[in-house]
Chain A
Amino acid sequence: MKRPVLQALLAWSIRDLVRRPLESGLLVTALLLTVSVTAAPLLFTQALSTTSGLMFRDAPSLVVRKLNALGWTPIPSDQSVQLAKSVPGVIAARPRVWGRVAGPEGPLTVIGIDRYGPPLPQSTALPGREEAVVGTDVKGDRVAPFLTLTGQRTATLKIVGRSDAMTGIAEPNMVLLHIDDARDLLGVPDGYASDLAIEVFNPAEESAILPDLTAAFPWTVRITTRTESAGIYAAGLARMGGMAVAFLVPALLALCLLVAVTVRDRFGRRFEIGLLKALGWTTGDIVRLQVSRALLIGIPGAAGGIMLALLLVFWPNANWPVRLCPEWQALSSRLSFSPGDAGLILLEVTGLVVLPFLAATIGTVLRCAIADPQEMLERTNF
C-alpha cells in the first residue's frame, strides 16, 4: 500500500470522526471510563502485591514479643538478645523500640534509633534528643517545623529531616526518634524493647526454629515469622482481588454495551460502506478506513483510561485505595510499582477491552464488505 493512500485514508478517517463529533466523543469517553474502571483494580492489586513483596524483603525473619495477661509487654533487651543467640540457627538478634502514637493528622509509627539500628541510608540524618526525622507523608504541626506526638505522654519534637528509607517497619508515615524519646513516648523502660527482630541462617528454618526459640525464653512469647506476616497481607490482597472482580463486572458490562453500540453503528453504516464499494473502494480499503477510525478512538480512549487509572491509584494524595485495606493502613500509605507491572496491566487491559472493541469494528465491517454493494445501498433507508 502506497504511503499517500494511507495518509489519505487516515485523513479521511479523521474527517469521518469529525462528521459525528458527539458520537465520537461519547465513544472515546466510554472507552476511557471502561479502561480506567478495568485497569484501576488491576493496577491496585498488582501494586499491593509489589509493595508487600518489597516490604517483606527487608523485614526480619522472626519477630519475638513478650506477652503477659494484658497483652504484649516490653521485652528485656540484652537478656533476650543473649537468649535468642543461644538458639542454633539464629545469626542476629536486634531489640527494636517502636509503636503507634497519635500525630496531628492521625496515627503514626514511631521508631527509636540507637546503636542496634535499624540501619538507615547515609543520606538520612540521625535524630538527636527532641528531634525527629519523618517519612514523606508525615505532616507536622501548624507551627513548623515541629511535630507533636501523643503516646504514654505528649512530646513536641523538631523536624530535622525527611526520609523515604525502607526500614522494614514503616515507610511514609514513620517518625524516626532518638531512642530515649521513643521510650518516653511509648512507655518502654530503659533496658527494654518493644520486640526482638531475629535473622536466621536459612530462611527455610523460620518455622523449624520456633519450638527451640520459644523454649529459650523464660517468659511467654509470641513469635511471628516473615511468612506469617506476609500471609496477613496475602489475605488482604485476596480480599482486594475479590473487590477487583466486583469492579470488573460492571466494567465488562459497559464493555459489552460499547461493543454492541459499535456493531450497531457499523451496521447502521451499511449504506456508506455499499456506496464506497460502488465508488471503487476495495474491501481492504474499507477495513483499513474502519481500523484507522477505531484506532483513532481506541488509542486516546485506552491511553486516557490507563492514565486515569494510574492517577487514581498512584496520585500522591489519593490514598483512598489503601483505606480499603485495613491491614495496610498500619504500615504504609504508598504503593510501589514497576514498569514490568505496567506492561502486564497494559496487556491485560488491551486483551480485556481494546481487542473486543477492535474485533467488533473489523468483524462487522468485514461482514458488510463482502456483500454486494447494491444490496447494502438498497437495504438502507436513505
Chain B
Amino acid sequence: MERGIECRRLMVARRSSDGREKVVIDDLSAQFETGQMAVISGATGAGKSTLLHVLAGLLRPVRGEVVVDGEAVSRWVSSHRDRWRRRVGIVFQHDRLLGDLSAVENVVLPLIPRGGGLKECRRSALAALSRLSVDPLADKLVRNLSGGERQRVAIARALVARPSFLFVDEPTAHQDHKSTEEILKTLAAAAAAGAVVVVTAHDPRILEAEATGSRFRLAQGRLKALR
C-alpha cells in the first residue's frame, strides 16, 4: 500500500513576464494520503497549479523535495523522473488536449508507451470516457467539443492508465451541477481504489463536497490545513 506523497519545505520560483524570478511556493510542507481526495483552494495566482506541476514531476523545485515511498522523486535525474510520471495522472487547468485528434485518440495517448496493443488501448480509453459520460463523443474531434466536454475528456485521459497519483486542476470550472457530481464521484472512486488524489479548486461545490478528505488553503506560498 502506498503511503501517499509528501512535500518537504518546497520552494518554487517562476520567471514572470518581466523576467524577474518570483517565489511562488515558499517552505511548503504537506502530506497527501493514499485513498483520500485532498482539496487545495486559494486565490488566483497563489501557486496551486504550480504545486500540482511540481507534485506531478513536470517542474523541479528550487529547494525542498517531493517524497514518495521514502524517495525524493523531485531530485531524480531526468530518466527516472520519466518513470515517476508514469505513475501519475494529471488534469491541467487548461485541458491541454490535441484539438486535431478525436476524444478517444487523446485518451489513448498515455496508454501507447505502456503496451497492450492499440485495440486494447482503445477499449480502455472508451471505458474511461464512459465513466465521464462522454463516450458518445469518442470519435469527435476535440476542437469541436464544448469546454465542459473537453474537460471531461481531459479527466478521462488522466484516469485511463489507473495512476497511483492523480493531480487535478480545477476539474469543474466548466461543468454543470450534474457533471460536477459525476466528476467528484469518479475522483472519489479513484481515491477509494488506492490512489492519492489532489484537486485544486475555486469551485465551492468541490470545497463543500462530502467526498473530499483533507482540505488546504494556499496563500503567500504556504499551505494551511483547513481540515
**A54 part of interface (Cβ distance < 8 Å):** no
Q: Roughly how many angstroms separate A283 CA and B101 CA in the complex, as a whole number? A: 22
**A272 part of interface (Cβ distance < 8 Å):** yes
* A275, A276, A373, A375 interface centre (most CB from chain B within 10 Å): A373
Q: Roughly how many angstroms separate A125 CA and B92 CA in the complex, as a whole number? A: 84
Closest to A12 in B: B112
**A9 part of interface (Cβ distance < 8 Å):** yes
Chain A: minimal CB distance from B108 (Å): 8
A249-295 interface (Cβ within 8 A of B): 272, 275-285
B82 contact set on A, CB distance < 8 A: 277, 281-284
Q: Roughly how many angstroms separate A282 CA and B85 CA in the complex, as a whole number? A: 9
Q: Roughly how many angstroms separate A7 CA and B94 CA in the complex, as a whole number? A: 31
In the complex, the answer to whether B117 meets A8 with C-beta atoms within 8 Å is yes
**B58 part of interface (Cβ distance < 8 Å):** yes
Given A280-B161, A373-B58, A272 contacting B98 (CB threshold 8 A): yes
In the complex, the answer to whether B96 meets A8 with C-beta atoms within 8 Å is no
Closest to B112 in A: A8
**B88 part of interface (Cβ distance < 8 Å):** yes
A28-79 interface (Cβ within 8 A of B): none
**B146 part of interface (Cβ distance < 8 Å):** no
**A2 part of interface (Cβ distance < 8 Å):** yes
**A374 part of interface (Cβ distance < 8 Å):** yes
Chain A: minimal CB distance from B50 (Å): 9
Chain B 19-51 interface mask (CB, 8 Å, partner A; 1/0): 000000000000000000000000000000000
In the complex, the answer to whether B58 meets A283 with C-beta atoms within 8 Å is no
Q: Considering only CB atoms and an 8 Å cut-off, how many residues of chain B contact the other chain?
A: 34
Chain B 79-116 interface mask (CB, 8 Å, partner A; 1/0): 10011011010101010101011000100011111111
In the complex, the answer to whether B88 meets A280 with C-beta atoms within 8 Å is yes
**B60 part of interface (Cβ distance < 8 Å):** yes
Q: Roughly how many angstroms separate A2 CA and B111 CA in the complex, as a whole number? A: 13
**A218 part of interface (Cβ distance < 8 Å):** no
**B121 part of interface (Cβ distance < 8 Å):** yes
A282 contact set on B, CB distance < 8 A: 79, 82-83, 86, 113
Chain A: minimal CB distance from B120 (Å): 8
In the complex, the answer to whether B58 meets A278 with C-beta atoms within 8 Å is yes
Q: Roughly how many angstroms separate A15 CA and B122 CA in the complex, as a whole number? A: 14
In the complex, the answer to whether A374 meets B117 with C-beta atoms within 8 Å is no
Closest to B53 in A: A374
In the complex, the answer to whether B85 meets A278 with C-beta atoms within 8 Å is yes
**A26 part of interface (Cβ distance < 8 Å):** no
Q: Roughly how many angstroms separate A370 CA and B110 CA in the complex, as a whole number? A: 19
Number of A-B contacts (CB under 8 A): 81
**A19 part of interface (Cβ distance < 8 Å):** yes
Q: Roughly how many angstroms separate A5 CA and B57 CA in the complex, as a whole number? A: 23
**B56 part of interface (Cβ distance < 8 Å):** yes
Chain A: minimal CB distance from B65 (Å): 16
**A372 part of interface (Cβ distance < 8 Å):** yes
A285 contact set on B, CB distance < 8 A: 112-113
A2 contact set on B, CB distance < 8 A: 115
Q: Roughly how many angstroms separate A11 CA and B111 CA in the complex, as a whole number? A: 13
Given A282-B86, A374-B53, A8 contacting B118 (CB threshold 8 A): yes
The one of B59, B83, B88, B94 that contacts A372, using a Cβ cutoff of 8 Å: B59
In the complex, the answer to whether A19 meets B101 with C-beta atoms within 8 Å is yes
Q: Roughly how many angstroms separate A11 CA and B121 CA in the complex, as a whole number? A: 12
B145-189 interface (Cβ within 8 A of A): 157, 161
Given A7-B117, A275-B96, A283 contacting B112 (CB threshold 8 A): no
In the complex, the answer to whether B115 meets A5 with C-beta atoms within 8 Å is yes
Closest to B109 in A: A279
**B78 part of interface (Cβ distance < 8 Å):** yes
Given A272-B98, A276-B109, A278-B90, A372 contacting B117 (CB threshold 8 A): no
A11 contact set on B, CB distance < 8 A: 118
Q: Roughly how many angstroms separate A205 CA and B157 CA in the complex, as a whole number? A: 83
12 residue pairs of the A-B complex, CB under 8 angstroms, read A4-B115, A5-B112, A7-B117, A8-B112, A19-B100, A272-B98, A279-B109, A280-B86, A280-B88, A285-B113, A372-B58, A374-B53
Which residues on A are within 8 Å of B, measured CB to CB? 2, 4-5, 7-9, 11-12, 15, 19, 272, 275-285, 370, 372-375, 377, 382
Other than the given A279-B109, A373-B57, 20 more pairs (CB < 8 A) read: A5-B112, A5-B114, A8-B117, A8-B118, A9-B113, A19-B100, A19-B101, A275-B109, A276-B109, A277-B58, A278-B56, A278-B58, A278-B90, A278-B92, A280-B88, A280-B114, A280-B161, A370-B78, A372-B59, A372-B60
Q: Which A-B residue pairs are the 10 nearest by beta carbons?
A: A282-B82, A374-B58, A285-B113, A280-B86, A279-B110, A4-B117, A374-B59, A5-B115, A373-B58, A8-B112
